[in-house]
Amino acid sequence: MRSDDIDEELKALETSQRSQELERLLYVSLTRAKHTLVLVDDLKLFASKTGEVNHRTMAAQLQVRAFESNAPHFHALRDELSIDTLLVAGNEMEPRAPRLALPPSKKLDLEKAKAAAHDFPHRRLPHMFSVSHRGDTAAREEQLLNREPDWPLRMVAGAAAAYGSWWHDMMEKMPWFQGVEAWRQHFAIAQQSSQMKARSAREWNSFIGSELKEALADPALVFHTEFPFLRSNSATECTEGLIDLAAFHPKRDRWLIVDWKTDRVELAAVTSLIQTYGAQVRAYGESLGGVTQCPVEATIYSTATGRWLKLNDAAATDTAVQGRFEGF
């Protein structure tokens, strides 16, 4: 995210939200101590070359920087570990003399610790598999859309990412079980919050006229939006993510997953989305299939072109451009 994507007002809002979260964490930490509370003096640790301390540090949250009111009280605290008998009076546990000396670590212990840390399960996120074929990061918007849900939408990036977030949000809340007419009504309401109304209307009409719409109109389908999954690949690796839309056909024991892509691409270059996002969407399909033991049809829908790309089809490149698909 470039600095010019965010104006000063949004920067201030971001700083305020981060500060509030740090204050909540600090409050919990300070009020949970039963016997001893250790405050780390991180003024020097995080100070810049000019001596300034980042607002995210504990010192900043405690307001103990040199120009702040709590500085004298903070620096008057004892440096050595001690127990105040008045504070622990009446506590069931007797105060014990603090033990500061630790036995020297053996080399064998360190090697075991390193091995245990290496064996800790590594989490793979499918959007990390997106491949860039341009000078900039092709998967930039995809990664931004995977931020925390409470991240302010306008802070994510520019208009393109904001539109992508709007489309994903609309499709997540779509009343899929209620039929096409309910879909139209939902879009009419959602479009009011779109920052690109002409584009949203054009791309919605393309979707309504697409073969994907026909496939999703099957009343037998069971829909799941923003479908979370966590699959153990091995003792040291797992795959975790969210699938935009997963539809299960109970009679056929088969899944259809759709990943919405709002990248602005020309029709002639639509299959570049497979090159960019194919590994990501296939990871979705492999994970869902591995967990449910059911076949999965992994697909991409390009909102800009109205094309539905099936990744499982060996001839996906040809059928995607020409729009010929077999029924799901």
272 falls in which pLDDT band (50, 70, 90)? confident
Record the pTM. 0.58
Is pLDDT at 95 greater than 80 in this prediction?
A: no
For 206-233, how does the pLDDT look when each residue is reduced to its tens digit (9 = 90+)? Answer: 999 999 999 999 999 999 999 998 888 8
Mean pLDDT across the stretch 31-38? 78
Find the range with the poorest average confidence among 53-57, 105-109, 154-158, 251-255: 154-158
Q: Residue 253 and residue 297: Cα distance in Å, rounded?
A: 12
For 178-201, how does the pLDDT look when each residue is reduced to its tens digit (9 = 90+)? Answer: 999 999 999 999 999 998 899 999
83 falls in which pLDDT band (50, 70, 90)? low
Is pLDDT at 75 greater than 90 in this prediction?
A: no
Is pLDDT at 298 greater than 90 in this prediction?
A: yes
Taking Cα atoms as reference points, which of 130, 128, 126, 124 lies closest to residue 275?
130
Cβ proximity of 48 and 65 under 8 Å? no
Domains along the chain?
3-97 (no CATH), 123-322 (3.90.320.10)
Is pLDDT at 134 greater than 60 in this prediction?
A: no
pLDDT of res. 88: 54
Is pLDDT at 143 greater than 50 in this prediction?
A: no
Using CA atoms, how far residue 132 sits from 262, 297, 316, 319, in Å, is 16, 24, 20, 23
Taking Cα atoms as reference points, which of 208, 134, 126 lies closest to residue 171?
208
- Percent of the chain at pLDDT exceeding 90: 31
pLDDT of res. 140: 46
Q: DSSP character for 221?
A: -
Taking Cα atoms as reference points, which of 238, 239, 234, 235 lies closest to residue 116?
235
